[in-house]
Structure 1
Amino acid sequence: MTMKRASVSMGTFTVVGMLILLPIGAFAQQAPAESAARPSEGIVHTVVAGDTLWDLSSKYLGSPWKWTEIWERNRFLTNPHYIYPGIQVVIVPPGAREFALEQEPAAAAGPAETPAAAAPSVEAVQPPVPRVTPPRVPYLDIKPEEFVRAGEFLKDAPTGIGAIMGGKEPKVGFVEGDTVYLSLRKEIPAGQLLGVYRVRGPIDSPGKRPVSGYVKYLIGVIQAVPNVDGQAAANVRHSFEDLTRADLISEEIPAYAPVRIDPGADGIPCSVITGRLWNEELAQGDFIYLDQGASAGVAVGNVFRVFVPTGVESGSEAHSAPGKVLFEAARAVVVRVSPDFSTVYVASSSESFAAGVSARRGIPSK
């Protein structure tokens, strides 16, 4: 297969003394800034009908996919996707306050003493304090709306709580603003948010290990509304792709979490099972799934090098394998891990690659 050449080449950045050959602009950023201003009095929101943490996150934190930041401050909420009108939700906690303690005057005891004459003050010359620049903390540079669509690879076919039966309009695919009718296996209160997922599979890995399973990833968010003629219904709040009758409805909605880059020790050879989509060729910006996970020592933030047996880019690194020489085509960062599999974001690539190629954790020292 002829490999495409990606337009983005590899650059460099430093991680605590390590040299990592990846473009700074496309791969890493500084530690994430606070999502919202932190006024001294804090921000408390009184919930009204129709509010969700997803909406409040969009309003106050700039992205609906940061809703877990609010939930962490309000863990009395048992269902983060359904909140009641009238309750108060802490968006930003109040800042620290300083209190001045009054000192009681000392009790008089005996005649007052005559204070000694003060010695002439000699102002000490203080040397200037050098400004210390905090060390750079690398985080994966990825938008929240991309991060939440990373998906996962599962051994067994995923199940949800139902599916879309149709819509108010006679359409095949549904998008933001549409009203859809649902077939649900449990009762959902009006106002609750639900995730809509696309599932494809079974998929057999073309790699060395015999792996078979399913890909599941988010394609939209819907919000339940009162039943229409006795039929469960919902409004489509957000759609990345057209929602169809074949898609799965779940109470799970993913959230964004900053990924701190930690390359990990060299090792853990594995194979690319597949990409999130049906792409024959994978490259920078794609999500891929590896056939090794937490049980093998993989952790979020680890960097994997992806190798191809043909095609050499200028400056690419060779890796020996029995009977052939492999060349580095891409570098990717783990964003999600399960015991058996890893979801990895391709942060940079010098050429495209196909499912089944090998990968290895770690960045060799120069």
Structure 2
Amino acid sequence: MSRFARLPLVPTSTWFVAVSLGLGAAASAWATNYPITPGQRSTAQQVAQNGVPLSELSPNAPDSYTVKRGDTLWDISKLFLKSPWRWPELWGMNMEDIRNPHLIYPGQILYLDKSGDRARLRTAKPIGDDKLSPRVRAEPLPDDAIASVPMHLIGPFLNDAVVLDSNTLATAPRVVATQEGRVIVSKGENAYVRGDLSAARNWQLFREPKPLVDPTSGEVLGFEARFVGAAEFTRAGETRTLPDGTNEIVPSTITITSLREEAAVGDRLSPTPARDVEAFAPHAPGAAMSGRIIAVYGDGLNAGQNQIVSLNKGARDGIERGHVLALWRAGTSRVDNTEGKREVIRLPDERHGMLFVFRVFEKVSYALILNVKDPVGAGDLFTQP
């Protein structure tokens, strides 16, 4: 089972910032009804008082910015901050006008308010600034909210990337035959399954799980079930007794509704879980942290920007959903012969990218590569940013 931490989301001035998962009206309804916890309110009050030091602003931070459709909070924060994951510290707020702390919309104008040595981002015009004319939407559209990070990249993996504590899929229902004896099954076609399908109508298909091995300790941290696609249960199987007294097994029928790759005999089934809409936002770990990349998700040996990797740290190690982590390139060995003798030296590790953790299991987590200079592979190091 995965374990998620509900993280405080920090508001803006008239409307407030957080996460909409791009799920249309359903996401909007979730955000509208999401409660403000005492911890969130306390964090918001501190942010309202403090802001962010001017030294943390990007050298080219604009005085104002109009939110556009397709923006993310991460994109906007990169315009204003050297460290985008520190965006909660940037947003100003109005405690008298808390109506919905989780949404920000296209068309809103954000103003950079600098007071003394601190800065805040507001949706209201800074006091005394007659050059700016705010155009804040009075009645935002219900399905317009922007996401905190690029949800189109990680959305498909919120439920599909699964790590099991043991190889429990070994006893799960399995595809035993395909329509007309085909080797593979395509969308809209039927496949035939043995096993108990009474638990659900909608199912996910997985390829044989592979162990995730810690590159440092060698410990098996879990079993990654590779997502194949989704199917709908359409007809129950049965066992018939023939006239001669023997039994004839008729498997159940499923219809393939979507595929990430072609389904085949031997694939295992698991009930489709409820859609993941747990709130999260980018933030740095509260303490020092380090670990290694286990593998690139899928078949690749190396990964680049916008690809998914598994990490050898999970909830037991303090990893939280929303953590931003730094990627490091290991220093290479060189020979120093500048003083007439040959000495082997090791160059220091170099930071060369960033990760965003979006799914956390007990011993393993998954992260999106936000940016990177060189290819990323198993064994590469990550730390707090």
Q: TM-score range by the shorter chain?
A: 0.5 to 0.7
The answer (yes or no) to whether the contact 1:194–1:222 under 8 Å persists in 2 is yes
Distance 1:246 1:349 in 2: 37
Please name the residue that 1:343 is paired with. Answer: 366
Distance 2:285 2:349 in 1: 21
Deviations 1:85-121 (A, max 9, x none): xxxxxxxxxxxxxxxxxxxxxxxxxxxxxxxxxxxxx
Higher radius of gyration, 1 or 2: 1
The answer (yes or no) to whether the contact 2:20–2:147 under 8 Å persists in 1 is no
Within 5 Å, which residues of 2 pair with 1:1-366? 31-32=19-20, 35-36=23-24, 139-143=148-152, 145-148=155-158, 151-159=161-169, 161-187=172-198, 192-205=201-214, 207-212=215-220, 213-227=222-236, 230-253=250-273, 255-257=275-277, 259-310=280-331, 324-361=347-384, 363=385
Distance 2:160 2:331 in 1: 28
Deviations 1:12-57 (A, max 9, x none): xxx98xxxxxxxxxxxx974388556xxxxxxxxxxxxxxxxxxxx
- Partner amino acid, structure 2, of 1:338: F
Q: CA deviation at 1:141?
A: 0.8
Figure out how many residues of one structure are paired with residues of the other and give that number: 242
Distance 1:193 1:309 in 2: 45
Distance 1:249 1:35 in 2: 25
Instruction: Please state whether the residue corresponding to 2:156 is helix, strand or coil.
Output: helix
Deviations 1:119-162 (A, max 9, x none): xxxxxxxx99x95979x997121216533365144442232631
| 1:310/1:170 CA distance change after superposition, 3 Å | farther
Q: CA deviation at 1:355?
A: 0.2
Instruction: Please state whether the residue corresponding to 1:325 is helix, strand or coil.
Output: coil
Distance 2:256 2:307 in 1: 26
Unpaired runs of 5+ in structure 1?
1-14, 17-28, 38-60, 74-126, 312-321
The answer (yes or no) to whether the contact 2:329–2:350 under 8 Å persists in 1 is yes
Percent identity between the two aligned chains? 12
Unpaired runs of 5+ in structure 2?
1-8, 11-16, 35-127, 138-144, 239-249, 333-344
Distance 2:24 2:213 in 1: 44
- Partner amino acid, structure 1, of 2:259: S
**Worse-superposed segment, 335-344 or 210-219:** 210-219
Larger helix proportion, structure 1 or 2? 2
Instruction: Please state whether the residue corresponding to 1:333 is helix, strand or coil.
Output: strand
Instruction: Please state whether the residue corresponding to 1:177 is helix, strand or coil.
Output: coil
Q: CA deviation at 1:198?
A: 2.5
Q: CA deviation at 1:204?
A: 3.2
Deviations 1:270-293 (A, max 9, x none): 111112213111222222111111
| 1:323/1:214 CA distance change after superposition, 3 Å | farther
Please name the residue that 2:116 is paired with. Answer: none
Distance 1:339 1:195 in 2: 22
RMSD: 4.0
Q: CA deviation at 1:294?
A: 1.3
TM-score (norm: length of structure 2): 0.53
The answer (yes or no) to whether the contact 2:197–2:233 under 8 Å persists in 1 is no
Return the structure number with greater relative CO, CA threshold 8 A, min gap 6: 1
Q: CA deviation at 1:226?
A: 2.1
The answer (yes or no) to whether the contact 2:326–2:351 under 8 Å persists in 1 is yes
Instruction: Please state whether the residue corresponding to 2:181 is helix, strand or coil.
Output: coil
TM-score (norm: length of structure 1): 0.56
The answer (yes or no) to whether the contact 2:312–2:363 under 8 Å persists in 1 is yes
